[in-house]
Structure formats: C-alpha cells, structure tokens
Amino acid sequence: MEKFIEHRGKTVALFQPNIDTDQILPKQFLKRIEKTGFGDFLFYDWRFDENGNQNKEFVLNQPQFKHASILLAGKNFGSGSSREHAVWALRDYGFRVVIAPSFGEIFYNNCFNVGLLPINLPEKTVEELVRKNEEIQNYELVVSLLKKKVSDDFGLSIDFEIEDFRREKLLNGWDDIDMILRFEKEIRNYEKKRPAWMPKV
Amino acid sequence: MKTLYDKIWESHVVAYESEKVALLYVDLHLIHEVTTPQAYDGLMKRGRKIRRTDLTIGTLDHSVPTKDTLIEDEFAAKQVQVFRENCNKFGVKFFDLGTQNQGIVHVFAPEMGLVQPGMIIVCGDSHTSTHGAFGALSFGIGTSEVEQVLATQCIRQIKSKNLLIKVEKRLSNSVTAKDLILFVIGRIGTEGASGYVVEYDGEAIRNLSMEGRMTVCNMSIEAGARAGLISPDEVTFEYLKDRAYSPKGKTWDLALKFWEDLKSDSDKAFDVVLSFDASEIEPQVTWGTTPAMVTAVNGFVPDPSEAKNDLEKSSYERALRYMGLEPMQKITSIKIDRAFIGSCTNSRIEDLRMAAKVVKGYRVNPKVKAMVVPGSQTVKRQAEAEGLARIFVEAGFEWRNPGCSMCIAMNDDRLLPLERCASTSNRNFEGRQGRGGRTHLASPAMVAAAAIAGHFVDVRDWRFR
C-alpha cells in the first residue's frame, strides 16, 4: 500500500450529507474483478448522463476543479454498502484525502487499507473550507499526517485527530496481514481453546 | 457490569496489539462473488493460503440472474466463474447456482444453523449485521479485510460504544419488524448509531420471530451502527434446534448452557439507552433517498421549508426532486409502477407468508409489475410446498429464483429511469434499484397491498380474503 506522509493539493467540494458508496461507485461497476481502474467510474451517475455524456454542471466536470486531490464532503460520507470499490475509485481518480464531519464506519476503515486519508473535522470547519474553496481560485491545502495538521497559504492551520494505529499504518504503508501474523503463536493458542460446539463447514 | 457485546468481544480477543487495538478471532467468514475476487488475487500474489477453510463458506447471490441460471452479462458471468475457480482452488465450500442450499448470504447461513449465539461473523457485505439477531457479533468488512480474514482468521478492531434500544409494549396488528426498524431509524437518523454496537431489547423485540429479529438487525447499518445484537432466548434456541449445522446431542446441551448466559448484565452497562413505544408505531413508508426519510403510511411527504436548518432543507429538496414528490403530498396518494418482495431484509419464509396473506384472492393492479424473489432455495421450496408461490403467481406476481436481485440491481432486475417501486429491501438511495429509479421502502405486507391497490394503503385496513 502507498504510504501517506504529507500531501499538497487542490480542493473540490461535494458538501451534502449522506453521500453513500452507491453514489461514489455505482453497482454496475462492482462486477469488475480487478482492484484498479475504477477512477473513470467515480460518481458515475452524477458525472455522466444516460448516454455517457459529461454532465457539465457536476462539480468534478468543471475545469477549475480538474486535478483536485482533496475532497471536502458532507457528514456521513461513504455510508451504506461496504464496497471497498468506492475507495479504490476515489484513489484511482486521484484523490488522496477526504475531509468530512463524519464518515460511514466501514468506508472509513477501508480507506486505511487503500492509502486514502479520511479526516474528521467539525462541520463548521468543513463549511469554512468549502467557502474558501469557492472564493479562492485554485485553493490548495497541505495535509500533514505526520503533524496531524491541515493548513493553507492564508494562515489557516487546523489540528485533526486520528487513532495512532491508523496513522502509523498509513505513514508506513503497512499491510495488515503481516501485522496480524506477528501474533501467530497467540492465534494458535486461541484456536486450541475455541468451544467445541461452534460450527465447522 | 458488561453488555453482551463486551462479553463476545472479550471471549474473542486473541491478543491486544496496543491498549486499544485488539485482534479478534472470527468464527465464521461468509463470502460471495462480488467482494472476494480481489482478495483471492491478493492471496495468490503473495503465495498465501486460507487459514481455515472449515470456517469459510460461500454463495452466489449479488450479480446472479433470478430468471434462470444462464448469465448473459459477460462481466457477471466472469465474476461468477472466477469465484467458482477460486473457491475450488483454495478448497472453500460454496453453494453454486441452482444447487439446493444456494441463496442470499444472509439468508442461507442462518437457515442452515451456521449462525449461533456468541460467535463472531464477518462478510464483505454491510448487511452482515443481520446475524446479530442470534446474539452473534456480526459486521461487514471491506475486501482488504476479507483477504486478511482469509489469511489469518483474525481481524483488527477497536471497540465500539454500547447503545441499547429498548422497544417496549407490543406492535399493533399488521405492524411488523420492518416498520419497527424503519421507525427507529427515522427517529435516530442515518448516523444515530454511528460508533456504536446496538443491542435491541424490550417486549416488542422479544415478541419477534427470528425472521423479524433478522430484519431489525439487518437494517442496523442504515443507522450507522457497527453491528446490531439481540440476546438469545427460547425463540433463538427453538429456531436453531435440528438445523443442519446446529450442535447435536451432548454438544447441544453444552452449547445451550453457554448460550443461556449470553446477555447484558444491566441497562446500566450501556453508554446510551434509547426507549421507544411499539404501540405508537404505524406502518412505515420511506419518501426520500435515505432510510431515515420515512413516515407513517397515513402521513405526508414533508415540506422542506419546515426543515430544521438549511442543510436539512437542501437535502429534503434534493430528495423530493429525485423522488418526483410534492411537499405535503399524502403518502397514500403515491402510485407505484413496480413492487419488489425480496432482499436480505425481507425474503424469508415469514415475510412471504405475510405478503401472501395480503395477496390471497386479489390480482396485482394492471399498472404494476410485481415480483417475489425468495431469499434462498430452501425458502423457495418451502413457499412452494405451503402454496404461497401459487398465491403470488395467480395474483400476477413473478416468482423468481433466489438472489439479491432488485435490492442492488446488479443483474437484469432493475428499475427504469423514473419508475417508482414499493420495495421490501433496505436502501432507497439514488439509483439503488436502477439509475433514476425511485424506491419506497416498506414491509412485505405493505408492499403486497400497494402492488394490488396500485398505490400505498394502510395494511391495517386490509380486507383479507
């Protein structure tokens, strides 16, 4: 997994609540068996009309927000389905960070297995970032996971919170399986004392 | 003082990596074709094996057709074929299309007795919360985590908080588990249980069958919960007795003794307790694009101008625009084009019995296309044996083969743009049942009644024939 230490990038805002993973990556693309190449399908039903033509009004299609890599979103972003495909789509499109007042829990977990950084900030703070994103052309943020800080070129500096184990994982690009297998002895001991009544297939 | 969640957690800790992060052992890993190919791929790339094929079981459900077993969609066909090959290569048991135990992952597993109290169960599907109905800690995971569990049988977790939802008193006649959970989600919101494992209790919950309890726990995720739980009781034990994978003989006695102790010590063990009165709950119908946008069948579509704040106002306006509804429109005036009875929320035998009771002696409204998709081959056989299938077919419903079908619309079962559907499924998100399609969630009885009337009606006034 790609490490995440610090990232500077352009912002784009989709500030509405409850953007679920069905919107982030619609179901028709869940039939793919690859783990990459989902970027073209991100927000597909919002980005394109029924005939596959770009919807000019949708924010990601507006030229000033091209190549944005930091998404400012509303509360409960990524709720609903567990599909990790939604995170792959955001990553493949070019996003490295999503900032929102809150996230769907499975989506939030999935981000850390893909190398996308989800940041929880208070609703008022996200609103302020959204306002700046509208007012300032090519508005950029610097997101430092190392310092747990979001800042801009205009004096803004906000600390954010993140669980240590998640932070370390992203900073190092660690694979969970390697982490878990350090406990091989404990897993074997646990397996010896599992109750006999539990089903085996 | 401990909650049921605390107890299951503690009995599954393999090790603590740090103060907060635990490695938990997984007792059952359910898999299906959509969220596993990349996980299998990861295993193969690193030359890893599946640690416990004896604790892993699969089915085909999400992208499969429900008309026959021939898959015309080339991507779906490939995904299904890759799933078969991977399971065979790694030695994982799975139920193929057309075989006698195949069905929706959250339907076949409980009905085979694979879900038992006190277990930890995971699956690459958010509705894994269903299995909490048995007092098993069950939650959805992403594909990377599927790979982790395949390789190690363990999952890294931090503990959630404890929320108790007590539903006191009794549900009225024709008001069901689906109405109960939609009502609760309407009250607490899409994030009402975020950060929590929810335990449900109270007289109304205790009076539910296992099918009803599964419906309640299934939709916990729609309120943002990590998992939903109901502590096991006589109803649970009765359901489990003599199922294919339930313990037998002396092992049953041993298990039962353990299961009987699986309950929370006191309401005081919870971080938060919320209480609801079941007798106040009316049949529910969603009007918007989240399950929390819901009201009673005799209610009205809300007026965005009366929303709490600007954000709520704009999301109401957006939802009404998408749904093609007017502010203050009567719910019973909403006409439907399609009716769908199925999904991991409401496709079990009891759901079909409730729907068939409404349908019996009636015809589906000529303007409505209606279908029933049983949750598993077992449900299908049982419904046919009980004569339910005949009632549906004679009324003009299509009677299909098991699968997720029009709940996720990955196969051909989907709404056309602007089509309006009364659905027993779990999500009314934009495009969920097909791009531009409009979904109203309701109970099986309410959907059956709407299919016949052509619009929503209060099933409490239904004249059963």
pLDDT digits (tens, 9 = 90+) for B7-18: 999 999 999 999
List the single best residue of B152, B312, B411 to mutate versus A (max A Cβ within 10 A).
B152
* A191:B25 CB<8 A: yes
Which of B241-245's residues contact partners 24+ apart within 8 Å by CB, and which partners?
B243/B111, B243/B112, B243/B113, B244/B112, B244/B113, B245/A199, B245/A201, B245/B112, B245/B113, B245/B114
Query: For residue A189, is it within any domain?
Result: no
* B35:A84 CB<8 A: yes
**CATH code of the domain containing A35:** 3.20.19.10
Across the range A186-196, mean pLDDT stands at: 96
pLDDT in tens, A29-56: 999 999 999 999 999 999 999 999 999 9
Q: Give residue B319's pLDDT.
A: 98
Q: Strand B137-140 relative to strand B120-123: parallel, antiparallel, unpaired?
A: parallel
| Burial (CB count within 10 angstroms: exposed 0-12, middle 13-18, buried 19+), residue A94 | middle
Q: Give residue B300's pLDDT.
A: 98
Across the range B167-174, mean pLDDT stands at: 97
Query: For residue A182, is it within any domain?
Result: no
Amino acid at position B19, single letter:
E
Kindly report the length of chain A: 201
**Residues B435 and B99: beta-carbon distance below 8 Å:** no
Query: For residue A198, is it within any domain?
Result: no
Distance CA A100, CA A98 (A): 6
- Mean of the per-residue pLDDT values for chain A? 96
By C-alpha distance, which of B194, B193, B215, B196 is closest to B204? B215
**Residues B86 and B110: beta-carbon distance below 8 Å:** no
* B191:A177 CB<8 A: no
Quote the domain boundaries for residue A151.
Answer: 6-174
Contacting residues of B for A198, CB less than 8 Å apart: 27, 116, 119
Distance CA A115, CA B11 (A): 32
Instruction: Using the predicted structure, report yes or no on whether residue A61 has a pLDDT greater than 90.
Output: yes
Query: For residue A199, is it within any domain?
Result: no
Instruction: Using the predicted structure, report yes or no on whether residue A2 has a pLDDT greater than 90.
Output: no
B18 contacts chain A (CB < 8 A): yes
All structural domains of chain B, each given as residue ranges with its CATH number in brackets, are 4-272 (3.30.499.10), 285-461 (3.30.499.10)
B408 contacts chain A (CB < 8 A): yes
% of chain B with per-residue pLDDT over 90: 99
Burial B64-89 (b: 16+ CB within 10 A, else e): bbbeeeebebebbbebbebbbebbee
A201 contacts chain B (CB < 8 A): yes
Across the range B283-296, mean pLDDT stands at: 98
- Mean of the per-residue pLDDT values for chain B? 97
pLDDT in tens, A117-170: 999 999 999 999 999 999 999 999 999 999 999 999 999 999 999 999 999 999
By C-alpha distance, which of B29, B122, B132, B76 is closest to B404? B76
The Cα-based distances of B105 to A70, B62, B228, B344, B404 in angstroms read: 36, 9, 17, 8, 9
**Residues B412 and B424: beta-carbon distance below 8 Å:** no
pTM of the model: 0.98
Token reading at B391: 């009632």
Across the range B297-322, mean pLDDT stands at: 96
Q: What are phi and psi of B352, to 5 degrees?
A: -70, -35
Which residues, listed in sequence order, are joined to residue B58 by a DSSP beta bridge?
B31, B94
* B410:A33 CB<8 A: no
Q: How confident is the model at residue A175 (pLDDT cuts 50, 70, 90)?
A: confident
Q: Give residue B69's pLDDT.
A: 81
B61 contacts chain A (CB < 8 A): no
Distance CA A92, CA A85 (A): 10
Token reading at B102: 């195949």
Query: For residue A196, is it within any domain?
Result: no
- When CB atoms are compared, the residue of B113, B191, B427 closest to A80 is B427
- When CB atoms are compared, the residue of A34, A110, A199 closest to B144 is A110
Distance CA B388, CA B359 (A): 10
The Cα-based distances of A164 to A142, A159, A167, B137, B226 in angstroms read: 20, 14, 5, 25, 20
Across the range B92-102, mean pLDDT stands at: 96
Query: For residue A159, is it within any domain?
Result: yes
Residue labelled with tokens 């959805």:
B140
Helix-helix angle B210-218:B177-188, to 10 degrees: 20
Q: What are phi and psi of B136, to 5 degrees?
A: -110, 135
Query: For residue A185, is it within any domain?
Result: no
Query: For residue A190, is it within any domain?
Result: no
By C-alpha distance, which of B124, B301, B182, B156 is closest to A21? B124
**Within chain A, what is the greatest distance between any pair of CA atoms?**
64
Q: Give residue B342's pLDDT.
A: 98
| Burial (CB count within 10 angstroms: exposed 0-12, middle 13-18, buried 19+), residue B323 | buried
Q: How confident is the model at residue A82 (pLDDT cuts 50, 70, 90)?
A: very high
Instruction: Name the minimum distance, in Å, from the CA of A28 to any CA of chain B.
Output: 6
Distance CA A30, CA B36 (A): 11
Q: Strand A6-14 relative to strand A140-144: parallel, antiparallel, unpaired?
A: antiparallel
Instruction: Using the predicted structure, report yes or no on whether residue B68 has a pLDDT greater than 90.
Output: no
**Residues A38 and A92: beta-carbon distance below 8 Å:** yes
Burial B279-289 (b: 16+ CB within 10 A, else e): eebbbbbbbbb
pLDDT in tens, B400-457: 999 999 999 999 999 999 999 999 999 999 999 999 999 999 999 999 999 999 999 9
Amino acid at position B65, single letter:
P
Instruction: Name the minimum distance, in Å, from the CA of B256 to any CA of chain A.
Output: 9
Q: Where are the beta strands (DSSP E) in B119-255?
A: 120-123, 137-140, 154-158, 161-168, 196-201, 227-229
Sign of the dihedral defined by the CA atoms of residues B141, B146, B149, B155, in that order:
negative
- When CB atoms are compared, the residue of B27, B41, B431 closest to A22 is B431
Chain B's closest residue to A186, CA to CA, is B14
Total number of domains in chain A: 1
Q: What are phi and psi of B317, to 5 degrees?
A: -60, -45
**Residues B291 and B428: beta-carbon distance below 8 Å:** yes
Kindly report the length of chain B: 465
Token reading at A154: 């205009």
